[in-house]
Amino acid sequence: MGLEGRFDEAAGVVRVGDDARQRYHDSRGYGYPLEGNEIALAPVEAAHLLFRGDLEAVVDDGGERLDFRTFVAREPGRKFGVRFLVYADLRSRGFYLSPAAEPWLADPPGGEADFAVFPRGKGPGDGEVEYALRVIGERTDIPADELADGVLAVVDEESDITYFDVSRREPSGTSEASLPDRCEADLLADRVVVWEPPLDLYESAFYGQPLEGREYERPTLQCSLLEAAYLAARGAIDLDPETVRERGRSVEGERFDRRLTVYTTLRERDVVPKTGYKFGADFRTYADVESVENLGHSELLVRVHPAGYVFEPRDLALDVRLAHGVRKTMVFALVGESGGVDWWSLERLTP
Amino acid sequence: MGLEGRFDEAAGVVRVGDDARQRYHDSRGYGYPLEGNEIALAPVEAAHLLFRGDLEAVVDDGGERLDFRTFVAREPGRKFGVRFLVYADLRSRGFYLSPAAEPWLADPPGGEADFAVFPRGKGPGDGEVEYALRVIGERTDIPADELADGVLAVVDEESDITYFDVSRREPSGTSEASLPDRCEADLLADRVVVWEPPLDLYESAFYGQPLEGREYERPTLQCSLLEAAYLAARGAIDLDPETVRERGRSVEGERFDRRLTVYTTLRERDVVPKTGYKFGADFRTYADVESVENLGHSELLVRVHPAGYVFEPRDLALDVRLAHGVRKTMVFALVGESGGVDWWSLERLTP
């Protein structure tokens, strides 16, 4: 026979007495203890106990007896629907989780986190948090400056849930290569042709793409404007760097400068960026290029955004799904006003 | 010993005499015949012959002798760079192709086509065209109303080429299912819960998602606002259709009506649309649902746009690549002002 709870609407919690502490809190990680054997439940916790039939009913301040349907219809609490769905999903996967707030937790995760998820087999009393979890609906935009280490759960319009592992990801590599001196080059529309540079510019440093096969000792290379701007700034080709950058801006707008910042930062970290166009990204990257002949798999797909960018969950789903499908990690490079770059990776996660 | 051409800059063609007609036109499909043995070449054709060393040089109106580099540096003709790259790529794959214009062709493809590509082994004189080919750079936007049957070649910033097969694609299916009468339902934030409807609503008609497993005879279903708006309009749930649509508009804006138009059109064609969120699309579709128990693979990913939409090639690359990776076909549903839907599929193609 289940217990009844009392809905304290002002406090936004459901209080349950009798042996609730032992039955729900101590053994199964719901709520936080009050005096005696009473506990307080967050609305999602109470809804879950109602849903499972563990709690018989919740009685509101006016004395009305609520079952699962009528309790849920009140949408008790901010983002109730999506938070409940994620709470129930993780519970059904065998995890305990608490609202990311005191007094559920002595030291709750900050930021925009909704829940603290405990390691499998652990609960709120064990002092260990596996990750902070943020829950959003697929129509909720996420400003880039709200990205935080942890897990992001996105509930789609049909109530399926996708989990993303969000973490900082600093690219670094070993693809160092020396550059030639002032090779002849022509700027043509939105690309640059470098006429018969030393083979190493392509074969070791991996700039450009040969105009025809690789059978020549000094293949003529087609370079992107980004590659050319970088090479020109280092004196490796005989074009004026500012002319190349101007052309970049004229065909791409301010996006060109952001992408050049990221391109340059990656090259300075000895990572080779090549175009990510075929994957709809800005770059794919190779950390350890020894030669193009023996090129490994590219590891990252990089998308460049300004630091103030606001993500749409659907675009995140698309990027991360595609990256996963081609065995790469999706990385977002957020470029600040002063030219600093923040790197975040998002990967699909199955809890 | 190669021939020389004369660059008729006013006409925008390169004329070659001697035995050019036999050498270049009749046997290898370059240019169009003039009087005697002379032929006229488009700049891309002349550049290709220069590149291969078949043409020694091109002499301009002022008497200057141009080699491949100096001829190309003039960027002779609109979109010269990207058109040359695609022309050379298809030639290297063994295809003949001509500018999509008279007098290269008696009956050239219209629209925005740049080239007519002939069937393998055929040339301009054989009266057969394999497909019309449009060439763009990855930074060139494409208005939806310029989509046309044929092939779209996109040259990325590093001069790699992706080919897309563009064609009309009318979805149709056999997933017909009857609907129940006025099931109880609640509108909650941006989704709808249908309380214990007949099992068939999920199991045969594939609406919603059960709140928990499938073990129940009458599982409570969570439906998207689109599903709910459709079901409400048909009297299958006890919500006011306009209330559901209003909620849709309030969380999604005018996009909701466009998506509802496409959702409704697909259902009317006996195709089941479910959310495409995990693929970053609007819908994935099932043409032949007999039961959810024996659900096949979904065939299409559908993205909804207004008829006046302008595509960015990078987004096309992302969508088509992802769809290919999950063995589905990417379809764009373009919704006109009057509610008509134009359907276009894009698929990667290796010529």
Mean pLDDT taken over chain B = 95
Query: Mean pLDDT for chain A?
Result: 95
Residue B72: its pLDDT value, please? Answer: 95
Structure tokens that stand for A189 in this block: 């529309």
CA distance B256 to chain A (A): 12
Predicted pLDDT at B214: 45
pLDDT given at position A214:
45
Can you list the alpha helix ranges (DSSP code H) found in A135-278?
199-203, 225-233, 241-252, 255-268
Given a contact cutoff of 8 angstroms between Cβ atoms, the answer to whether A339 and A268 are in contact is: no
* Structural tokens at position B273: 């649309």
Tokens found for residue A232: 């020109």
User: Both tokens of residue A107?
Assistant: 């030291």
- Of residues B350, B282, B333, the one with CA closest to residue B147: B333
**CB atoms A279 and B318 under 8 Å:** yes
Environment class of B82 (CB within 10 Å of its CB; exposed 0-12, middle 13-18, buried 19+): buried
pLDDT of residue B213: 52
A184 → chain B, closest CA residue: B69
CB pairs under 8 A between A and B: 156
Query: Residue A22 has which token pair?
Result: 């032992």
Structure confidence by residue, pLDDT tens digits, A81-136:
999 999 999 999 999 999 999 999 999 998 899 999 999 999 998 989 999 999 99
**Strands A150-155 vs A131-137: parallel, antiparallel or unpaired:** parallel
Q: Does the pLDDT at position B146 exceed 70? A: yes
Question: Is A279 within 8 Å of B209 when comparing Cβ atoms?
Answer: no
Helix B225-233 and helix B255-268, axial crossing angle in degrees, nearest 10: 60
Nearest CA in chain B to A279: B318
Which residues does A323 contact at the CB level (< 8 Å), separation at least 6?
Answer: A279, A281, A301, A329, A330
List the single best residue of A277, A311, A312, A324 to mutate versus B (max B Cβ within 10 A): A277
- Asked if B158 lies within 8 A of A208 by C-beta distance, the reply is yes
User: Is the pLDDT reported for residue B2 higher than 80?
Assistant: no
For chain B, give the percent of residues with pLDDT over 90: 91
Taking 70 as the pLDDT cut, the residues of chain A under it are: 1, 213-216
Looking at residue B158, its amino acid is: E
**Residue A52 to residue A67: CA distance in whole angstroms:** 11
pLDDT in tens, B101-123: 999 999 999 889 999 999 999 99
Under an 8 A CB cutoff, do B326 and A325 touch? yes
Is residue B282 within 8 A of residue B289, CB to CB? The reply is no
Q: Which residue of B has its CA nearest to A223?
A: B158
Interface test with chain A among B44, B67, B80, B158, by most A beta carbons within 10 Å: B158
Q: Which residue has the tokens 């996967």?
A: A93
**What pLDDT is recorded for position B110?**
85
Q: Which residues of B touch A330 (CB under 8 A)?
A: none
Residue B130: φ, ψ to 5°: -75, -50
Report d(CA A121, CA B34) in Å as an integer. 85
Arithmetic mean of pLDDT, B55-62: 95
Closest CB to A277: pick one of B69, B138, B227.
B138
Q: Can you tell me the mean pLDDT for B54-64?
A: 95
Residue A35: partners with Cβ closer than 8 Å, 6 or more residues away = none
Q: Cis omega before residue B99 (within 30°)? A: no
A64 vs A7: CA distance, rounded Å: 10
Q: What is residue B279's DSSP assignment?
A: G
> For chain B, which domains are there?
3-137 (3.40.1170.20), 177-253 (3.40.1170.20)
Query: What pLDDT, in 10s, does the model give residues B204-223?
Result: 999 999 987 545 678 899 99
Enumerate the β-bridge partners of residue A272: A286
Let me know if B160 is exposed, middle or buried by CB neighbors in 10 A (0-12, 13-18, 19+).
middle
When scoring B44, B93, B157, B226 by the number of chain A Cβ atoms within 10 A, the one with the most, hence best to mutate, is: B157
Torsion, Cα A158 A159 A163 A168, to 10 degrees, reads 80
**Nearest CB partner across the interface for B275, out of A81, A156, A208:** A156
> Which residues of A are tagged catalytic?
286, 297, 328
Å from A251 to nearest chain B CA? 7
What was the pLDDT predicted at B174? 96
B328 is catalytic: yes
State the Cα torsion A109-A113-A119-A124 to the nearest 10°: 60
Q: Which residues contact B155 (CB under 8 A, 6 or more apart)?
A: B81, B82, B85, B86, B135, B136, B137, B138, B161
Chain A residues with CB under 8 Å of B227 CB are: 158
Say if CB A80 and CB A45 are below 8 A apart.
no
Measured in whole angstroms, the distance separating CA A241 from the mean position of its chain's CA atoms is 34
Asked about B25 being catalytic, the answer comes back as no
Query: Is B96:B29 a contact under the CB 8 Å cutoff?
Result: yes
- pLDDT of B23: 93
Element spanning A173, H or E: none
Residue B267 CA to residue A60 CA, distance in Å, equals 42
What tens digit of pLDDT does each residue of B313-330 get? 999 999 999 999 999 999
